[in-house]
Every structure is written in C-alpha cells, then in structure tokens.
Amino acid sequence: MFIPLILIIMIIVPIPILIKNMLSNRNAYRGILEGAIAAMAGVASLLMMFWILTGVSFFELINEGMNSVTLEDMKFAERYAMLGMEMPEPEELQLMLDYVKETMSLAVPGILILLCLVISYINYGIISWILSKSGQRITTLPPMRSFSLPKSIVIGSLLIYILAYLSASAGIIDEGLIMFNLRMLFSFFMVIQGIAVLFFFGYVKNIPKLVILFMVTILILIWIGQTILLVIGLADVIFDIRKRIYHIKNNRLQ
C-alpha cells in the first residue's frame, strides 16, 4: 500500500506546476525539473510522516525486506535449469545475492529521484498533448534531440562530489550511500545526453526515428552500451558534438 501511495504522489503533485509552466510559455525542461522537485518534496514529506508515526524509516523497511530474501525464494535452480546452464556453488550464489541486495538498498534514494524526474517528463508529454488538442497555446515538449545539459553540470557535479566526500569523511552521511547515488544520477543524465546526441545524428542524417529508437534500446539493455551512451553524453557536454555536426552539415551545403 505504501509504494502505490508514493507513485500516486509522484504522478499527482507535479501536475499543477507543469500546467502553469505550459500556459506561461516557459522552458519545458525547467517545468519538468520544478515538477520533479515538487514530487520529491511530497515523497520526502510522506517518508517523514511514516517515520514519525511508526518509528521506522522507509529505508529500514526496504532493508528488512531485502534481507528476508533467500536463495530458496529466488528459485535459482529452476532458473538455471530453464536456461540449460550449470548452476554455480551455493556459496557463490549467496555472494551474488548479497551483492544484489546491498546494491538495491543503496540505490533506493536515487531510484526515487529518477522516478520523480521520469514521471514528471511523461506527465508533461501527456498533459501538453491533451491541452494542445483543446486549442490551448502552450509550451510543448521539445524533441529528444534538443535536450542538452549545461556545461556547468560537469563542474557542479565535481563540486557536489567533493562536498559529499568531505561530508562522508566527517561522518555526517554514509559514504557508500551518497557516492553510489551520486554516480547513478550523474550516469543517468549523461546517458540521456548521449541518447539526445544519437537522435540529433539521426535527424541530421535523415535516419528514421524507429531505427534510432531500436539502437538506443539495444544500447540501454547492455552494460557496454550504457557506457557508450555515457561517454557520448559527456563528450557532448564538454565538446559540443551536436554543434560541430550541425556546422559540418551547413559547410557541406554551402
């Protein structure tokens, strides 16, 4: 019941902010960010209320749930048999399960933040489409190829990382938790930037969107593909790859 309530807050809370942003013709991505921040504040308030009423934090509840999962619950024997693979030793499986549980526990804050951002983005797309069909003059969601992070994000991320490291060293916050989530959020935004570069390249080269979407899906599903997107995104933030591609195309047309 608690998790569906979190999702409802993520969906409902940003809507007034998104609509106000659309009708005032402000930047769409700014509206999405403000909506996501409002959703994060709503979720944080709910988690705080849950802790006050029960004396148990949501994250402790998640950890307890993770720790209760056993090898028998995962049914590894059946899964390996279905795939026709030889099952590793129980000790190796236990180590793998412990690693997955630890990673999932660390990732909870970052996952909540990313969910707020993604849901706010989807909300904006759906609401702007509905309002545009009704004849309202609004700021619609720009195409993916136009998404771009500011150059200052690299320096800003570095400063946040240093501050987080100093705070962790001073014992103010848990080092593993904060560093894991910072890396996850940074990687997410760089991957999105990389996806935008691919869509821009497809637009310039007149490659069908479905082909680019298929390529992006394949890259996201594999680890090396995610790394490629991250590197492309980081390179675009630093070196303005899309601007260079655009200038090359214009020079050829002249």
1 or 225, greater pLDDT? 225
Residues 87, 107 within the same domain: yes
pLDDT value at residue 13: 95
Beta carbons of 177 and 109 less than 8 angstroms apart: yes
pTM for this entry: 0.83
pLDDT value at residue 162: 74
Residues 97, 51 within the same domain: yes
Residues 99, 149 within the same domain: no
Residues 114, 69 within the same domain: yes
Residues 2, 96 within the same domain: yes
What is the per-residue pLDDT across 199-237, written as a single tens digit (0 to 9) for each? Answer: 999 998 899 999 999 999 999 999 999 999 999 999 998
> Structural domain of residue 81, as residue ranges?
1-142
Residue type, 42: G
Residues 157, 187 within the same domain: yes
pLDDT value at residue 59: 78
Domain boundary among 142, 165, 192: 142
pLDDT above 70: residue 71: no
Total domains, the chain: 2
Report the 3 state secondary structure along 212-246.
Answer: HHHHHHHHHHCHHHHHHHHHHHHHHHHHCHHHHHH
CA distance 109 to 119: 16
Distances (CA, A) of 213 to 64, 145, 181, 219, 221: 38, 12, 27, 10, 12
Residues 169, 121 within the same domain: no
pLDDT above 90: residue 74: no
Quote the Cα angle for 42-104-29, to 5°: 45
What is the per-residue pLDDT across 77-123, written as a single tens digit (0 to 9) for each? Answer: 666 667 666 777 777 777 877 887 788 888 888 888 899 999 999 99
205 phi and psi angles, rounded to 5 deg: -90, 5
pLDDT value at residue 190: 92
pLDDT value at residue 153: 67
Is residue 39 very low, low, confident or very high in pLDDT (cuts 50, 70, 90)? very high
Record the tokens describing residue 158, joined without a space: 């570095």
13 or 141, greater pLDDT? 13
Contacts of residue 182, defined as CB under 8 A and 6 or more positions apart, other chains included, come to 157, 160, 161, 164
Question: DSSP letters along 164-197, please?
Answer: HHHHHHTTSS-HHHHHHHHHHHHHHHHHHHHHHH
Beta carbons of 193 and 237 less than 8 angstroms apart: yes
